[in-house]
Amino acid sequence: MSQPIRSALVSVYYKDRLEPLVALLKEHGVTIYSTGGTQQFIEEQGAPVTAVESLTGFPAVFGGRVKTLHPTVFGGILHRRHEASDLQEAEQHQIPPIDLVIVDLYPFEETVASGALEQDVIEKIDIGGISLLRAAAKNFRDVLVVSSRDQYAAVTELLQAKGCATDLEDRRHYAAAAFEATSHYDTQIFRYMAQGTELSGAALKLSEKPATPLRYGENPHQAGTFYGDLNALFDQLHGKQLSYNNLVDVDAAVLLMQEFAAAGPAACAILKHTNACGVAQADTLHQAYLNALSCDPVSAFGGVIIVNKPVDAATAEELNKLFFEVLIAPEFAAEALPILQSKKNRILLRQKPVQFPAKQVKTLLNGVIEQDFDKVVEGAADFRTVTDSVPTAEEVAALEFALKVCKHTKSNTIVLARAGQLLASGVGQTSRVDALRQAIEKAHSFGFDLQGAVMASDAFFPFPDCVEIAGEAGIRAVVQPGGSIKDQDSVAACNRLGMAMVLTGVRHFKH
């Protein structure tokens, strides 16, 4: 049913975008109650306003911690206009009705993200605001609640169209939005307060927004939505909307490139279905891309490419020869962009610095599993040589490189590499021997000589067969986590074949 708005409580932290809504309320003679800075703002707009203190007969106390927490305010919001007893009590206690509540919340999440001191974070836990939102949303039969400045324009348009009145459907919609705002807010507070306590693992509280509908999910018959702020991570400079599968591959690409610091050599990775089909480092980005492409130019078709240096014109010219879905870079030279934008649907993403969550979450069965993000990657200092042969400095560099790729490749996996160059990988196999044979065959098919190359395995070798096959192919050094009861069999095989083997003690399964 349509219900006119005759009175409103307006108390907001962010006052931008509010002017048109205040002007509309003034135009329709709506009685406005307000507090502090919001009251001053409304007065500056030339609208009459009544201080909440005048309504309640009680001043704001405790440095403003208590302003609106009063029976007159909450009674005005919560009393039911269709209940005779509520109307009688409201009249008895001189509680005027409040038909519209415009309230936002203190910026708790933003204050946490700023690295502020705990005392400043705690002061941004909103008490009155969140209570007002919940009260107004609960009584949506009679009250319209506006919980965000993002709603001001739509609400102004709605009220203009309906003569400063609303329908029940309108009020229910904005009530749901208010409960979304309060639930998200409480989730952020819980996650902050529970850090370092036994409660941090007692319940999984997630609230991610905004929601971005995707064209479809993994396949066209599946609906898909991304929840999160992509704009905090990327500026999309060109191309069509990212799809579900694009996002999965982009995630894999970004995590892989984190292993190659921007301050180090130029690096390029090409991924297909979350696995790297080409990774290389070189003195220039142009050469790094050519080397990465040479790993597997067939799989690179339609893939996702990521680099750790700004894309220059020469590299852009080479990239433009290949059909790919997405290119991610920290920056694009002005002369490179027009070259890359020549293909209409090609997605170009400029990556911004961002800190990723410390936890990973995945739905499973009828619940959710969570784990720590795998931040470990082993270097030379972590290698324990267990063979008679000791890897050379060049082989150590190659083993470090191979491990970075191996960590981000689906299990079971074997990675064959030289320093700064992926030669081939066997991915997602049910047998490690199959993974190795796949990698060897792939390397040979693209003209790579494996003599003197190195091998990385994401888990231990239960038998010496992989070492023996690798030795026959020319592999000279191996890195693996170790931990098999038959580790010594693989070590002995390396010694027979004159190969070096190092153990890390760390497994990197990726399912």
Active site (catalytic) residues: 138, 273
* 79 within 8 A of 89, measured Cβ to Cβ: yes
Helices then strands, counting H and E runs in the chain, come out as: 18, 23
What is the distance between the terminal CA atoms of the chain, rounded to a whole angstrom?
Answer: 54
Q: Is 205 helix (H, G, I), strand (E, B) or coil?
A: coil
Place of tokens 């929601």: 211
* 309 within 8 A of 328, measured Cβ to Cβ: no
* 253 within 8 A of 269, measured Cβ to Cβ: yes
Q: Give every CB contact of residue 214 below 8 A, 6+ residues apart in sequence.
A: 224, 225, 226, 241, 242, 243, 244, 247
Q: What one-letter code names the amino acid at 302?
A: G
Torsion of CA 290, 295, 298, 303, to 10 degrees: -70
* 401 within 8 A of 420, measured Cβ to Cβ: yes
Which token pair is 291?
């080397």
Distance CA 11, CA 329 (A): 43
Place of tokens 């080397």: 291
In this structure, are strands 275-282 and 304-307 parallel, antiparallel, or unpaired? unpaired
* 111 within 8 A of 19, measured Cβ to Cβ: no
What does each C-alpha distance from 201 to 140, 147, 191, 204, 358 come to in angstroms? Answer: 35, 30, 10, 7, 13
* 202 within 8 A of 193, measured Cβ to Cβ: no
Q: Is 445 helix (H, G, I), strand (E, B) or coil?
A: helix
Q: Give every CB contact of residue 283 below 8 A, 6+ residues apart in sequence.
A: 265, 266
Which 3-state string (H, E, C) describes 293-307? HHHCCCCCCCCEEEE
Distance CA 102, CA 290 (A): 57
